[in-house]
Amino acid sequence: MAGLAATFGSGAMTNSIDEIEYTDLILATGTNTTENHPVIGAKVKRATKRGAKLIVIDPREIDLVKYADIWLQQKPGTDVAVINGMLNVIISEGLYAKEYVKDRTEGFDTLKKMVEKYTPEKVEKISGVPADDLKKAARMYAKADRASILYAMGITQHISGTDNVKSMANLSMLCGNVGIEGGGVNPLRGQNNVQGACDMGGLPNVYPAYQQVANEDVRKKFEGFWNAQLSPKPGLTIMEMMEAAGKGTIKAIYIMGENPMLSDPDLQHVKKELQKLDLMIVQDLFLTETAQLADVVLPVASFAEKDGTFSNTERRVQRVRKAVEAPGESKTDWEVICGIANKFGYPMNYASAKEIFEEVAKVTPSYAGISYERLEKGGIQWPCPTPEHQGTKFLHKDKFSRGLGLFSAIEYIEPNELPDKQYPFLLSTGRVLYHYHTGTMTTRAEGLTERYPESLVEINPADADKLKIADGQKVKVTSRRGSVEAKATITRKSAPGSIFMNFHFADTSVNLLTNPALDPIGKIPEYKVCAVKVEAA
Amino acid sequence: MEKKISIKLDGKDVEATAGQTVLECARENGIFIPTLCHYAKTTNVGACRVCVVEQEGARSLVAACCMPVSPNMVVRTNTPAVRAAQKMIIELLWASGDHNCLMCEQNGQCELQNLVYWLKIDQPRFEIKAPGYALDESNKMITRDLNKCILCGRCVRACNEIQVNEVLDFAKRSYRAKVGPAFDADYIDSNCFFCGECVQVCPTGAITFKQAKFAGRPWELNKVRTTCTYCGVGCQMDLYTKDNKIIKVMGNREYGQPNEGSLCVKGRFGMDFVAHPDRLKKPLIRYKKNEDFKEATWDEAFTFIADKLSKIKKENGADSIAGLSSARCTNEENYLFQKFMRAGIGTNNVDHCARL
């Protein structure tokens, strides 16, 4: 999100989900849409049936490849080079939106100079994408009237994650696709309310609606709202917190509904760090891997047992409604927070989720016009500044949030850890259709586990042949940080030399293997590239 | 601007839009024409013929779902000839399957049953001859009873045109015709993704939710609209509950964007966790490191936490405390969490797993 915020002034999906179905061209990269966002995946497929063009840039032969006009199979982690190559072709052939670039953007000359050296031939050497295919894709993208870029964690979970996102923004702006219906740069968010958690200030540097904690005027305003003195110092990110816990500078962590003991990279290390804490509080539905390490575990209501709102990937605020009673003595997360706060000496008293939302609307300008009454009629997309405002379908119409759109001249850098003699395979991690995140919910579903009962290692037939591994055979995957065992599934989805594993199953914690190297700005770990060896178990 | 044309519908002059079908125009004007195979936003196939109407000048009855409006067209939807044809069609469908409502999950919301009642049919004139297909109970999510299938093809179009999973199609011909995955495979042995769209669109009890079987009659269920808890698409869904338990999950086209009634396998079949016996039910406290958890009251838990946090803050400062809010929780909860960390504890050490 930092990438889009720097470029456009706002870090969110620029356009709406419904526009995907009716645009002229879709460029999908680093998103296995049909498995991770199936309902959007269906829209992409419907768009291609209607005649829209589809370019897929992905190292894996994902389902969407079947529907693609062009598939660029880059080596993992070479996204910046590929996009720079497309920029090179579009600029050198004069296919870019010249007036748009002149009127609405800045930094074009620097970009132009920088991408000169990313000739298709050079990019082929770096990424393995044939120069001719790259040229075709660049021309096809540039010639489309409206083109929408979709991406997900395949773009962001790299040490160059922020750079990758800025590259997408470069491409989109260069062809005048930002600020129009059917266009845009669209990060597909992986969790139901990750957009909302960010909007609400669940980040170390900002209050609700991305208002900077370091800005004195903003801080004074919130001190007034909350009747408290606030710290001007931005806080630690999740990975920095873990590190600080290990060093002993963080003594207590309060965790609401997260499972870092399965989702974070290099788990052995994370466990050691968490065990050093004086106090660890976890509130969750289940005794998760993380909760098992806690000092206090608090039982909470699931989404079906409470009222509230989620904000989806297209900034649409929608109601969550209570359908059943929570088991035992469980409380909602907000009741638990209030309970702790009141005992701690900071009074927090609310009668309902609605009352909390009314306070949210007061302090969050982009949500100011939204109310539970209005949401009864359906979701509303922020920004929605007033009760009369209809919400915003796509952002940056006529003008970017930051004024002019900023091109960023970005050089390609190699992933942090690449295969070598000892660890010859490249491991990428992600999700599969039938499961979700750390699996605490989906591995407890009868039907889902029937269809996908255990973790699988996706390996290319040629590699399986070389290693004499049969489909369904147990293999051992080892990195510099640990090793796990799981069954192999032989599939062309994985490119030769690459394997793919999911992180859903606690008994096959792939994050024992992953590399905790972080993107320096987004602080996102490089889940998509690390070096491993594979052998029959 | 869409071109408007004028047609006569059941003796009334109405305005239609060029390109519209007679069915769409009738519905806009509050005139009921029964349908079975029609499913909006998919191809009009005219397979079931139950939507037939009389059109002046036409050689025979025409299917309203496929007939485009044309200027000065005169259409009647409720003549004796139309009703006789509809009755014949429904009687034939009834007689060609095992439509035993006594043991059918769709009883009360079956579109075939509704039309039998609406057309006032006591008994089909034909001998009932069900094909005798074996049930597909191959999996824990979807049950198929093709003896109740009326070959309307909605599931085929839902699979190919809405979800574009391209698993279902027609096979064989005439009275042997059936729908299913390639090679007549059971769902579990096919490349079905179990999105459940076929169940949602099926007008009869041919494709049903396995877990919902014997779990509640349609009229006993409560329906609550909510937002799916899985990925970031934010699908709108109806949770059907009975006795404090989620029985089934349905999409609802009336809710429009973002999902227009579609769901995926997780939203549809991933709700078992809610009523799972592993759910935590009481606060747990570990009073000393390496000891086991002990069950506690909320007051004990809140006091334990508040005392410890106060002590840590006093000894090491507010920045020695950190919090992880959650992309899984509501906006309201995330707001309160960061407010507590910032205003209550006094630190900006708050983040969540957006990066993971």
* A131 and A226 inside one domain: no
Q: Which of residues 155-174 of A touch B (CB under 8 A)?
A: 156
- At the topology level of CATH, where does B4-78 sit? Ubiquitin-like (UB roll) (3.10.20)
Residues A172 and A114 in one domain: yes
* pLDDT surpassing 80 at residue A10: no
Q: CATH 3.10.20.740: which residues of chain B?
A: 4-78
Q: Does A2 have pLDDT greater than 70?
A: no
Beta carbons of A265 and A514 less than 8 angstroms apart: yes
Q: How far separated are the first and last CA of chain A, in Å rounded? A: 40
The pair of three-digit structure tokens given for residue B51, joined into one six-digit string: 């939507």
Candidates A199, A237, A298; nearest CB to B351: A237
Residue A261 — pLDDT band, cuts 50, 70, 90? confident
With tokens 């060896």, the residue in question is A533
Residues 277-296 on A with a CB inside 8 Å of B are 278-279, 281, 284-287, 291, 294-296
Residue range(s) occupied by CATH 3.30.200.210 in chain B: 211-279
| Beta pairing, strands B284-285 & B294-295 | antiparallel
Considering the domain architecture, whether residues A178 and A214 belong to the same structural domain is answered as no
Mutation site, B242, B292, B314, B351, interface A, largest A CB count within 10 A: B351
Give the number of domains in chain A. Answer: 3
How far apart, in Å, are the Cα atoms of B271 and each of A445, B195, B336? 7, 14, 27
Q: Mean pLDDT across the stretch A252-278?
A: 88
- Per-residue model confidence as pLDDT tens digits over B277-291: 999 999 999 999 889
A183 and A209 housed in the same domain: no
Residues A234, B319: contact at Cβ < 8 Å? Answer: no
Position A266 scores a pLDDT of 80
Do A374 and A522 have their domain in common? no
A263 with B278: Cβ contact below 8 A: no
Q: Are A285 and A297 in contact (CB under 8 A)?
A: no
pLDDT at site B262: 97
Closest in B241, B265, B301 to A323, CB measured: B241
Position A12 pLDDT exceeds 90: no
Q: Tell me which DSSP letter residue A157 carries.
A: S
Cβ atoms of residues B235 and B251 within 8 Å: yes
Q: Which A residues, 442 through 461, put their C-beta within 8 Å of a C-beta on chain B?
A: 442, 444-448, 450-451
Enumerate residues 6+ apart whose C-beta is below 8 A from A210: A5, A10, A11, A198, A199
In chain A, whose CA is at the least distance from the CA of B304? A296
Given a cut of 90, is residue B343 above it in pLDDT?
yes
Instruction: Among A523-527, B93-97, B247-251, name the one with the lowest average pLDDT.
Output: A523-527
Mean pLDDT in residue range A60-69: 96
* Residue B43 predicted with pLDDT over 60: yes
pLDDT at position A269: 85
Does residue A431 lie in a domain region? yes
Instruction: Tell me the mean pLDDT in the region A243-256.
Output: 96
* Residue A103 sits in the same domain as residue A213: no
Q: Do B232 and A191 touch (CB under 8 A)?
A: yes
Give the residue numbers spanning the domain of A515.
425-536
Contacts of A323 in chain B (CB under 8 A): 222, 224, 226, 239, 241, 246
**Residue A527: is its pLDDT beyond 90?**
no
> Contacts from B56-64 at CB under 8 Å and sequence distance 24+?
B61/B85, B62/B22, B64/B21, B64/B22, B64/B23, B64/B26, B64/B33
Q: In which band, very low, low, confident or very high, does the pLDDT at A1 lie, cut at 50, 70 and 90? A: low
The pLDDT confidence band at residue A517, using thresholds 50, 70 and 90, is confident
* Chain A partners within 8 Å of B341 (Cβ): 254
Is A330 a member of any domain? Answer: yes
Whether A360 contacts A196, CB under 8 Å: no
User: Three-state SS string across A407-447, please?
Assistant: CCCCCCCCCCCCCCCCCCEEEEEECCCCCCCCCCCHHHCHH
Nearest to A66 by CA among A441, A493, A489, A524: A493
- Do A207 and A266 fall within a single domain? yes
Q: What is the pLDDT of residues A154-168, one digit of tens each?
A: 888 888 888 899 999
Q: Do A192 and B328 touch (CB under 8 A)?
A: yes
- Interface check A207 vs B, CB under 8 A: yes
Compute the C-alpha angle A366/A372/A373, nearest 5°. 115
Q: How confident is the model at residue A323 (pLDDT cuts 50, 70, 90)?
A: very high
Quick check: A296 and B283 CB within 8 A? yes
Domain boundary among the residues A163, A188, A213 is at: A188
The closest alpha carbon to A395, from A198, A206, A169, A99, belongs to A169
pLDDT at B62: 97
**Structure tokens belonging to residue B90:** 């429904």
Phi, psi of B159 (to 5 degrees): -70, -35
Residue A387 CB coordination number (10 Å):
12
Could you tell me if A399 and A8 are in contact, meaning their C-beta atoms sit under 8 angstroms apart? no
The predicted pLDDT at position A402 comes to 86
Calculate the average pLDDT of chain A.
94
The span from the CA of A337 to the CA of A322, in Å, is 19
How far off is chain B from A165, nearest CA to CA, in Å?
A: 13
Has residue A409 been placed in a domain? no
Residue reference for tokens 């990758």: A164
B343:A450 CB<8 A: no
pLDDT at A176 over 90: yes
Residue A411 CA to residue A202 CA, distance in Å, equals 31
Per-residue model confidence as pLDDT tens digits over A406-440: 999 999 999 999 999 999 999 999 999 999 988 88
Task: Tell me the one-letter amino acid at A337.
Answer: I
CATH code assigned to B211-279: 3.30.200.210
Task: Give the mean model confidence (pLDDT) for residues B244-273.
Answer: 97
pLDDT, tens digit (0-9, with 9 covering 90-100), for A429-469: 999 999 998 888 999 999 999 999 999 999 999 999 999 99
Does residue A213 share a domain with residue A234?
Answer: yes
Closest residue in B to A242 (Cα) is B322
The enclosing H or E element of B22 equals helix B22-28
Arithmetic mean of pLDDT, A197-221? 95
**A410 domain residue, yes or no:** no
DSSP string, B246-261: EEEEE--GGG-TTTTT
Helix (H, G, I), strand (E, B) or coil at B212: coil
Same domain, A179 and A201: no
**What phi and psi, each to the nearest 5 degrees, are found at residue B289?**
-50, 145
Give CA–CA dist B214/B217, Å, rounded. Answer: 8
Could you tell me if A264 and A374 lie in one domain? yes
Q: Which residues are registered as beta bridge partners of B295? A: B284
Residue B90 confidence (pLDDT) above 70: yes
Strand-pair partners of B63: B52
Structure confidence at residue A264 (pLDDT):
77
CATH number at residue A240: 3.40.50.740
- Asked if A310's CB is within 8 angstroms of B227's CB, the reply is yes
A98/A163 same-domain check = yes
DSSP A4: H
Q: How many CB atoms lie within 10 A of CB A124?
A: 18
Please tell me the predicted confidence (pLDDT) of residue A506: 84
In this complex, do A16 and B355 lie within 8 Å of one another by their Cβ atoms? no
Structural domain includes residue A333: yes
For helices B111-118 and B80-95, give the axis angle rounded to 10 degrees.
140
Say what the pLDDT of residue B355 is: 67
Residue A387 maps to a domain = no
Q: What is the pLDDT of residues A341-355, one digit of tens each?
A: 999 999 999 999 999
pLDDT at residue A522, rounded to an integer: 79
Report how far residue A520's alpha carbon sits from residue A237's, in angstroms, rounded to the nearest whole number: 11
Determine the average pLDDT of the residues in A308-333.
Answer: 97
Residue B164 to residue A45, Cβ atoms within 8 A: yes
ipTM for the complex?
Answer: 0.94
Helices and strands: H and E segment counts in chain B: 8, 16
Residue A420 lies in a domain: no
Angle at A314 between CA B333 and CA B261, to 5 degrees: 95
Average pLDDT over residues A141-154: 95
Share of chain A above pLDDT 90, in %: 84
Q: Which of A171, A156, A150 is nearest to A87 (CA)?
A: A171
Shortest CB distance from A241 goes to which of B246, B255, B351?
A: B351
- Are A218 and A163 part of one and the same domain? no
Average pLDDT, chain B: 95
- For residues B50-70, one letter each, b for 16 or more C-beta atoms within 10 angstroms of the residue's C-beta and e for the rest, the string is bbbbbbeeeeebbbbbbbebe
Q: Residue A82: inside a domain, yes or no?
A: yes
Q: State how far the Cα of B157 lies from the Cα of A417, in Å rounded to an integer.
A: 47
Our CA-based measurement puts residue A436 at a distance from the nearest CA of chain B, in whole angstroms, of 7
CATH number of the domain bearing residue A122: 3.40.228.10
Closest approach of chain A CAs to the CA of B354, in angstroms? 6
Task: Report the share of chain B in percent with pLDDT over 70.
Answer: 99
Scan for tokens 């630190």, then name that residue: B347
Q: Which residues of B touch A222 (CB under 8 A)?
A: 342-343
Give SS3 for A403: strand
